[in-house]
C-alpha cells in the first residue's frame, strides 16, 4: 500500500460519508425551522471542516486532527439528533458515516507515516521492509537540503526541520 492508495481510499470514504452526513444534517436544520439555505451552509461548514482537517493530516501536519475532531463530534451530534425520532438503531446508523471517515483518515495517516519511515526492498528474492535511511547520519553533504526537503524526507515539523538543518550545518562546518 502506498501513499496514493491510502489517500484515494480516504477520499472515497470521505465522499460517501459527506453525502450521507450532509443529507442528515440538512434534514435536522430544516426540522428545527431554520431556512434551507442556512441548513445547507451549516452542514457544509461541519462536513468541510472534517475534509479540511483530513487533508491537513494526510499532508503530514497533525494539527488537522483538531478540525477532524470538531467536524466528527458536531456531525455525530447532528446526525444522531436527526435520526433520534426513529429510535436508537436509527441513531447508531446515522453516525456511521462521520465515524467511518475519521477512522479512514486515522488508518491512512498511520499507513503513510509507517511507509514514510520504511522502504520495501527485494533482497535475494525475498521482500523486506526496512527502515529508510535518515538524512542525519550523512556527514558529508554536497549541499545541505532545504527545510522543505528535510520535512519531506524526515516527516517532521518546521521547527524540527530547522533543528536538523542546524545540526547538518554544524556537522558540515
118-163 pLDDT, tens digit per residue, is 555 666 666 665 555 554 444 455 678 888 888 877 778 888 888 8
Residue-range domain boundaries for the chain = 3-116, 133-172
**Cα gap 66→106, rounded to integer Å:** 13
Share the mean pLDDT of the chain.
81
Model confidence band, residue 26 (pLDDT cutoffs 50, 70, 90): very high
- C-alpha 34/C-alpha 57 separation (Å) is 33
Best CA proximity match to 114, nearest among 87, 97, 132: 132
The pLDDT assigned to 130 comes to 57
Would you state the cell numbers that stand for residue 37, as one nine-digit string? Answer: 439555505
pLDDT at 16 over 50: yes
Q: What is the torsion angle, in degrees rounded to the nearest 10, for the CA atoms of residue 18, residue 22, residue 24 and residue 30?
A: 180
Calpha distance 36→74 (Å, rounded): 19
- Residues 71 and 60: their CA atoms lie apart, in Å, by 19
Q: What is the mean pLDDT of residues 54-78?
A: 88
Say which residues have a Cβ less than 8 Å from residue 157's Cβ, sequence separation at least 6. 61, 151
The residue with greater pLDDT, 41 or 135, is 41
Rg (CA), the chain: 22
Amino acid at each position: 500500500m502506498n501513499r496514493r492508495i491510502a489517500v484515494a481510499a480516504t477520499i472515497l470514504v470521505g465522499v460517501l460519508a459527506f453525502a450521507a452526513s450532509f443529507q442528515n444534517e440538512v434534514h435536522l436544520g430544516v426540522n428545527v425551522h431554520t431556512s434551507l439555505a442556512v441548513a445547507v451552509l451549516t452542514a457544509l461548514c461541519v462536513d468541510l471542516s472534517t475534509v479540511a482537517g483530513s487533508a491537513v493530516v494526510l499532508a503530514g501536519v497533525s494539527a488537522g486532527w483538531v478540525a477532524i475532531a470538531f467536524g466528527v463530534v458536531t456531525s455525530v451530534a447532528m446526525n444522531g439528533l436527526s435520526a433520534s425520532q426513529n429510535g436508537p438503531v436509527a441513531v447508531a446508523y446515522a453516525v456511521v458515516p462521520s465515524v467511518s471517515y475519521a477512522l479512514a483518515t486515522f488508518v491512512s495517516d498511520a499507513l503513510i507515516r509507517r511507509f514514510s519511515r520504511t522502504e520495501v526492498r527485494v533482497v535475494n528474492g525475498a521482500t523486506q521492509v526496512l527502515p529508510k535511511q535518515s538524512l542525519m547520519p550523512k556527514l558529508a553533504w554536497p549541499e545541505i537540503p532545504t527545510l522543505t526537503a528535510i520535512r519531506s524526507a524526515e516527516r517532521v515539523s518546521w521547527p524540527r526541520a530547522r533543528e536538523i538543518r542546524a545540526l547538518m550545518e554544524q556537522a558540515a562546518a
